[in-house]
Chains A and B, each alone.
Chain A
Amino acid sequence: MWLNQFLILGALLFCIGVYGVLARRNGVMVLMSIELILNAVNINLVAFGAFHATPAGQVFALFVIAVAAAEVGVGLALVLLIYRNRSSIDLESVDLLKG
């Protein structure tokens, strides 16, 4: 079975995603990094689904994809809103609220 390879790929994607989320200052890039993590999840799900010979993994993955789309939609809306109000999507500068 080719399970481990998929899992390793998923883990790598996950790590890259996490790095992106934590390190990129551009809001859009952060959104994309999150997509990477979600895709890592999808790979895992599909792989495991195949491994267990159950469609649940694929179904789960479909739900994730759908929801991720919605999420990114909202996310982009928020980034846009920020951009409109501040003319910047640098996350570092978004720190009005703290303490």
Chain B
Amino acid sequence: MLASLVAQAAQLPFDKPIIDFHALAPEIVLVSLMSLVLLVDVFKLEEGRRFIPPLTGIAMLASIIPLISLALDGADRSMFGGAYVVDNLALVLKAMFLLSGYVVTLLASNYLAEGDFWESEFYLMMLSSILGMVVMSSSRDLITIFVALELLSIPAYLMASWEKRNLRSNEAGLKYYLMGVFASALMLYGMSLLFGVSGSTLLTDIGAAISGGDSSTPIVTLGIVLVIVGFGFKVSAVPFHSWAPDTYEGAPTPVTAFLAVASKAAGFVALIQLVFIGFLGRADVVEPMMWVLAAASMTVGNLIALRQTNVVRLLAYSGVAQAGFMLAPFAVVGTNAEDALTAVVTYVLIYASMNLAAFAVVIAVSRKTQSGEVSSFGGLFGYAPGLAVAMTIALAALAGIPPLGGWFAKFVVFRALVAADSAAGYTLALVVAVNSVIAFYYYGMVLKAMWFSDAPDGDTSPIRVPVSLVSALTLTVAATILFGMFPGLIGHFTGNLQGLLAAAGG
């Protein structure tokens, strides 16, 4: 039995994989430091525990160093037969995930320390989730994608219910988990079908197979739809968004920030790879489907957001709508792949900075008000003008007001849609246009509370903002402004992305 297996295996074309350690350096650094965090925790080095948050932060930042060296090196690296690719896109995304992770660490450290939480395990969870995202950035293979997805998701389920004795937190975690697992299952079923059609798990092979002669087989269509559904869940696109508001509201706020930014971005990263490398040949399915998802996400997300009174929940729906904006370029992927890719990546990067800024303020404010209600922001401008201005910048950026980051994100989306020069593109552009107006209405509700209303309880004592939060705020707000004023900064990355499709073997 075993012998026959070995014999069988020997006949299989099994090449010893060439492992490019430079390419894997970020992951290796991250895993190493993650292990250190684990060890510190496991061996109950009590005095060491307070170093865990800084250690986590260092882990993120340290992992960026090899990214820089890779970027300087510039060459695209491909491993495992093309299943794992380190190119500029991957580098940019990894950097984004690591930086987001760093910011979330900053956000979480005081929050966790002051609340009823297990601390050190949390950072471990977060590190492994980030690791999943980092891996996701390089995945060009169904299996890698699946593993990366689970690697980033499973810790996230736990993090969402991290406040063990809080029913809401439990519920948030459970819902997230159930929906997540169900979505994964659907996605896997779709993947199995795609695998069945192409006989390979490599995206490039799948792409080649399904864009072939019999590419219109229903089985492929079904597979694509199911896979997109799976990641539609991840990016909280309507109608797969239902979990997001509940989870966001119930989960500890730093986790929400993490989910809303990093996790969602990871979903988009996966979608980018699947769609641009795998499904480009089946634009006839992807385009309309994405059109529907984008339009529905924007509209439904915005409309429901209009009626929210809780800031976190409002940001959740705003995130749904933002996902719609980010999905929009996918709707013209067949005619205008390059612009669409640029648009999505740009949007994701800018979205990360501005949304994190918004959450940072929410966390800072709730330190005082212990509430997530919009009304609790009343009079903020009066007693904490700095926070109010930061929140204003974040929200205005989300709304797409120049010269703050969001405008460029929206702009590239418009650009991609218009450049497609198709009816679908123009109509979706109009939907985006209308929705960006609606969106301001609810962002405006928060602005209104901060600037125009008085503090609800008349308490105008200043908010004590810890250093970590201040640095998180500074980082994100500065990035938001810089991205807006000098979109060229991102332009440089995205500019380099142009050749990515070819590099990835698309």
Contact = CB atoms under 8 A, between A and B. Distances in A.
Interface of A: 7, 10, 14, 17, 21, 27, 30, 34, 37-38, 40-41, 44-45, 47-49, 51-52, 54-57, 59-60, 63-64, 67, 70-71, 74-75, 77-79, 81-82, 85-86, 91, 94-99
Does more than half of chain B's interface fall in helix, strand or loop, or is it mixed? helix
A82 B250 contact: no
A30 B161 CA distance: 19
Given A75-B178, A81-B164, 19 more contacts: A10-B192, A37-B185, A37-B186, A38-B185, A45-B195, A48-B192, A54-B200, A56-B143, A56-B200, A57-B195, A59-B143, A60-B201, A78-B157, A78-B177, A82-B174, A86-B170, A96-B171, A96-B250, A97-B249
A58 to B, nearest CB: 11
Most chain B CB within a 10 A radius of its CB, from A17, A49, A63, A95:
A63
Contacts of A30: 178
A62 B422 CA distance: 44
Interface in B182-209: 182, 184-186, 188-189, 191-193, 195-196, 199-201
A63 B143 contact: yes
Interface stretch (B43-51, B146-154, B459-467, B472-480): B146-154
Given A44-B196, A78-B173, A81-B170, A38 B157 contact: no
Q: How large is the interface on B (under 10, 10 to 19, 20 to 34, 35 or more residues)?
A: 35 or more
Nearest to A27: B174
A82 B245 CA distance: 19
Contact of B188 (A38, A57, A70): A38
Contacts of B12: 55
B161 A44 contact: no
A41 B170 contact: no
Interface string B157-177: 110010011011011111101
B451 to A, nearest CB: 26
10 contacts: A10-B192, A56-B199, A85-B165, A85-B167, A86-B167, A94-B175, A96-B171, A97-B175, A97-B246, A97-B250
Contacts of B193: 44
Nearest to B151: A67
Interface string B239-264: 00000011101100000000000000
B143 A14 contact: no
Given A41-B188, A54-B199, A85-B167, A63 B147 contact: yes
Contacts of B201: 56, 60
Interface in B18-73: none
Which are the 4 A-B pairs with shortest beta-carbon distances? A52-B199, A48-B196, A44-B192, A97-B246
Contacts of B250: 96-97
B195 A56 contact: yes
A79 B177 CA distance: 10
A94 B170 CA distance: 9
B181 A40 contact: no
B142 interface: yes
